[in-house]
Amino acid sequence: MSETVERHEFGAEVGRLLDLVVHALYSEREIFLRELVANAADAVDRRRFESLTDAALMLPDDAKVRIVPDKAARTLTISDAGIGMSKAELTQHLGTIARSGTLAFAKSLAEAPAAEKPSLIGQFGVGFYSAFMVAERVEVTSRRAGTEEAWLWASAGSGEYTLAPASRAEAGTDIVLHMKADAEEFLEPLRLQTIIRKWADHITIPITVTKDGVEEAANEGTALWRKSKSEVTAEQTTEFYRHLGNIFDEPWATLHWRAEGALDFTALLFIPGMKPFQAVEGERESRVRLHVRRMFITEEAALLPPWLRFVQGVVDTEDLPLNVSREMLQATPVLARIRRAVTSRVLSELKTKAKDAESFAKFWENFGAILKEGVWEDAEHRKDLAPLIRFRSSAVEGWTSLPDYVSRMKPGQEAIYVLLGDNAEALAKSPQLEGFRAKGVEVLLLTDQIDAFWPERLEKFDDKPIRSITQGSIDLSAVEGTAQQGEAADLSRLLPLLKDALKDDVAEVRATDRLVESAVVLAAGEMGPDLQMQRLMRRAGRGFPGGLPVLEVNPRHPLIRRLADRAAAAEDLAESAGLLLDLARVQDGDTPRDPVAFARRVAEALAIG
């Protein structure tokens, strides 16, 4: 036999994680059981789902998770009749860390101060490796459903593991823990039952603990969401939320309701209080779990639109058959109706919670950028979402909204003005704002990537058009307020000269009222996309889609006045024109067209002093 045993090194990151998990704490060791039982239950769920399309994978009638302590042998065995793992899967799932969330966790664990480690581990799913907190050796025998062969994975948790052929009568997995001397408490059936009740009561598959040779039920299995609100404690709800989302904070919002009548379903949904480690940005599909009469079906039913993908939880319905197939999930009108009902419920919860500005700001900072995708892509909900959007602004501290902006609009102001860029601090200093500031006109500062897209789709709020201030020319003369100070130079000679010198780089050169302290600014052409959009496209390697920009000059600025004089004296302004354009680009956070030439010109100008 020993000849067929293969030895493998753990991936480097597994070694580190093992070390951390095993040594970081003692008091929370019991969570190893939660992790192993959750894996076993997931494996049973997966097998049930796969058997819908492959009858050969059918679950045995008495599929449960069995926990068998053996004091004499000092082993604890956790068995399931789930999907099992092939040899390759054993290597992949137990020999390397496949999930980025686990890596992120390991990192934060390594960086956390000692006092915080226990709560980090206790509340976060650390997965299979937590077994090594209590076991000096772990053996996993597994047979993938639909195959004949079984494999034994074994490790003492230090550096390497072995793989060897094994046998198992049925598909499924046995995990045998050879307990450490100081972990014998976990061989007491009563202790095991208590742990299951505490951590895993909501698991709907039966879990048994063997006591004196008899399998005793350990979980109630009444799915938490099926109970009425008054029967469920806040701790149970929070524990369920943490289990679902692999997240360790308190939910920002909990929605628990039952729909009866035309549709019959129960939902328990959470909006997380923090951004989950598994960055919600990566994947666009909602992972809310679909259950049918308590049985888990899939988390790929897209129960919520992508712009609500941060919502976690369960929807459990009576209106679908248990053997619902993937095709049916896509086609059935029942699910479409459930989706609509669940979406509108979440939206109305958001509306209610938006009344508490401080609390809503927390939500917004976590998930606002995702919610805004809905304004862009969801015509049905666009109008409902608009008042929920929060903004930074040139006029107020903190977050503001479109209704608040509209209430502050100046007499004569026709549009809602926005400025797009990469970060709010830089935007707040942008020369683009000078004329608006001088007139007391507020500008909303937009810094998420999606902001380059949605305003165009929304078009208007409260009948006021939304306009990017870097796009086309904006006339603020109808807005009451002090006119610009200082005398404007006569630019009749300067403008054509600049235009001629810059004809390859700008579409037009014109005088503007929007500047106060700065000499120049760039704007997008009337028809083309906003400057920030053009910048994003360029960064994505998509050329220059917007045509050439417009260079606007401030006729009251000493520099422009001086250039106007030089133009009147028929001097050659080609060099200065180039510098002027680069200046405008640098102000917007762009690079000069030719940074080396730019630096040379500035150096020369400085030398002349």
Ligand X SMILES: Nc1ncnc2c1ncn2[C@@H]1O[C@H](COP(=O)(O)OP(=O)(O)OP(=O)(O)O)[C@@H](O)[C@H]1O
Match 């050659």 to its residue by tokens: 572
Would you count residue 246 as binding ligand X (CB under 6 A)? yes
What is the token pair recorded at 549?
Answer: 């920009």
Quote the least distance from Cβ 212 to ligand X, whole Å.
26
Q: Note whether 41 and 65 are within 8 A (CB).
A: yes
Quote the least distance from Cβ 161 to ligand X, whole Å.
13
Query: Which residue type is seen at 193?
Result: Q
Q: Note whether 6 and 163 are within 8 A (CB).
A: yes
Would you count residue 93 as binding ligand X (CB under 6 A)? yes
**Number of Cβ within a 10 Å radius of residue 159:** 13
Would you count residue 476 as binding ligand X (CB under 6 A)? no
Quote the least distance from Cβ 142 to ligand X, whole Å.
6
* Bridge partner residues of 269 (DSSP): 255, 313
In 3D space, the residue among 427, 457, 428, 434 whose CA is nearest the CA of residue 531 turns out to be 427
83 three-class SS: coil
468 three-class SS: strand
Quote the least distance from Cβ 307 to ligand X, whole Å.
25
Kindly tell me which of 41 and 269 has the beta carbon lying closer to ligand X: 41
Quote the least distance from Cβ 118 to ligand X, whole Å.
17
- Taking CB under 6 A as the rule, which mask of x and - marks residues 34-63 in contact with ligand X? -x---xx--x--------------------
Q: Which of 18, 67, 76, 83 binds ligand X (CB under 6 A)?
A: 83
Would you count residue 28 as binding ligand X (CB under 6 A)? no
Kindly tell me which of 205 and 324 has the beta carbon lying closer to ligand X: 205
Would you count residue 99 as binding ligand X (CB under 6 A)? yes
Cβ burial of 140 (10 Å; 0-12, 13-18, 19+) is buried
- Determine the size of the site formed for ligand X (CB under 6 A): 16
Kindly tell me which of 248 and 376 has the beta carbon lying closer to ligand X: 248
What is the token pair recorded at 516?
Answer: 């106060």
- Which parts of 285-314 interact with ligand X (CB under 6 A)? none
How is 128-167 classified by DSSP, letter by letter?
A: GGGGGGTEEEEEEEEE-TT-S-EEEEEE-SSSEEEEEEE-
Could you tell me the sign of the dihedral formed by the alpha carbons of 510, 512, 517, 523, in that order? negative
Would you count residue 245 as binding ligand X (CB under 6 A)? no
The region of 33-41, 131-139, 185-193, 277-285 touching ligand X under the rule CB under 6 A is 33-41
Kindly tell me which of 84 and 549 has the beta carbon lying closer to ligand X: 84
199 three-class SS: helix
Distances in Å between the Cα of 71 and the Cα atoms of 104, 156, 178, 183, 217 are 37, 20, 10, 11, 20
Kindly tell me which of 163 and 259 has the beta carbon lying closer to ligand X: 163
- Which parts of 113-142 interact with ligand X (CB under 6 A)? 125, 127-128
Would you count residue 95 as binding ligand X (CB under 6 A)? no
Q: Which of 69, 82, 95, 555 binds ligand X (CB under 6 A)?
A: 82
Would you count residue 413 as binding ligand X (CB under 6 A)? no
Would you count residue 455 as binding ligand X (CB under 6 A)? no
In 3D space, the residue among 563, 565, 584 whose CA is nearest the CA of residue 574 turns out to be 563
Give CA–CA dist 70/64, Å, rounded.
19
- Which parts of 161-190 interact with ligand X (CB under 6 A)? 173
Kindly tell me which of 198 and 337 has the beta carbon lying closer to ligand X: 198
Would you count residue 21 as binding ligand X (CB under 6 A)? no
Q: Note whether 137 and 179 are within 8 A (CB).
A: no
Match 């479109």 to its residue by tokens: 402
Enumerate binding residues for ligand X (CB under 6 A). Answer: 35, 39-40, 43, 80, 82-85, 93, 99, 125, 127-128, 173, 246
